[in-house]
Structure 1
């Protein structure tokens, strides 16, 4: 079972990367092969809807192939101005239902404010559903993320840490259930 994790932040001290990493580690421990596609290391150009996709850099082809190969996803974004980050939106613009249809997605949001990343999570949920994916009903928001983590990358709030870990485990369990359901109908 392959899971692709994407954190929609280019910040070197990204709390979104930390939160996605916690979910990814829990998914690994639950038996998934997890790869993190780091948009800082593999930058994508601005999506411009060109008709000849072969003219995009190799990173776009690699990104789309990894999206196709994955059985499920972990998507994380900081909340910027009440929505998802531009870098995550841009990455998702390169793909469509072909890459996401029928796949399970775990959603994580981080925010500087005390209200959390509710709008970001709702936006990611809408994008996933529009692309025919199955976002998990439980999502995790890390409020005041700039002060939420310990130096070792875990959360100070043990309940929130557990929620992120549970999200990773639930993703793996849901992918397994979804795959077995499809095979039983074939």
Structure 2
């Protein structure tokens, strides 16, 4: 089983990238979780699209298409979806109709980490409407929202909080089970 873990943040020391990296380290035997970012994807512009889909978009699209599932790690900026993540999803949905071809029926899960105290509940909720438009097979049994992420990861981006490590491990096991049931 192959899962693409897409980080919705660009920052080198992103808590969401670190969270997805930790999830990849918890993948059970026979499961690979491959981390991807949105680096190199330009701001969506119909004039750019008219010249062709950028290579970074095509590369990410093909990785998602080849995967059994998608796990998105989202920050929360100003109570919503980070612009870079929404922009990346917008590009992946182009040309018109590509979103449902790429994401339709794709098992999808959400996690998120933020330095704030309320987790990423609003960002994850806002992403649900986008994922619904794409027809994703969203895993409703589990979401992970990490608050105060600055205390959960060390300076090198390693997960150091035992409670969050346990929650993430349960999330990964549950999501892998969900994907497995969809694949059989």
- Give the structure-2-normalised TM-score: 0.86
Q: Aligned-pair distance for 1:7?
A: 0.6
Equivalent position to 1:166, from 167, 170, 180: 170
Cα offsets for 1:39-89 (capped at 9, x unmatched): 23xx10112245956623311211111121111011011110001211111
The runs of 5 or more residues in structure 2 that have no matched partner are 93-98
In 2 relative to 1, CA 72–54 (structure 1 residues): closer, same or farther, beyond 3 Å? farther
* Equivalent-residue separation in structure 2 for 1:89 and 1:16 (angstroms): 15
**Kept after mapping to 1: 8 A contact 2:69/2:108:** yes
**Kept after mapping to 1: 8 A contact 2:22/2:159:** no
More displaced stretch, 123-132 vs 85-94? 123-132
* Equivalent-residue separation in structure 1 for 2:50 and 2:58 (angstroms): 9
2:139 is matched with which residue?
Answer: 136
**Kept after mapping to 1: 8 A contact 2:23/2:33:** no
2:96 is matched with which residue?
Answer: none
**Kept after mapping to 2: 8 A contact 1:5/1:75:** yes
More displaced stretch, 90-99 vs 125-134? 125-134
In 2 relative to 1, CA 50–154 (structure 1 residues): closer, same or farther, beyond 3 Å? same
In 2 relative to 1, CA 176–45 (structure 1 residues): closer, same or farther, beyond 3 Å? same
The runs of 5 or more residues in structure 1 that have no matched partner are 181-186
**Kept after mapping to 1: 8 A contact 2:113/2:146:** yes
Equivalent position to 1:93, from 72, 86, 90: 90
**Kept after mapping to 1: 8 A contact 2:24/2:32:** no
2:17 is matched with which residue?
Answer: 17
**Kept after mapping to 2: 8 A contact 1:30/1:172:** no
**Kept after mapping to 1: 8 A contact 2:152/2:164:** no
Q: Aligned-pair distance for 1:151?
A: 4.7
Cα offsets for 1:95-141 (capped at 9, x unmatched): 21111111111201112211111101111222222211122221001
In 2 relative to 1, CA 52–153 (structure 1 residues): closer, same or farther, beyond 3 Å? closer
2:179 is matched with which residue?
Answer: 175
* Equivalent-residue separation in structure 1 for 2:31 and 2:113 (angstroms): 24
Equivalent position to 2:79, from 68, 78, 82: 82
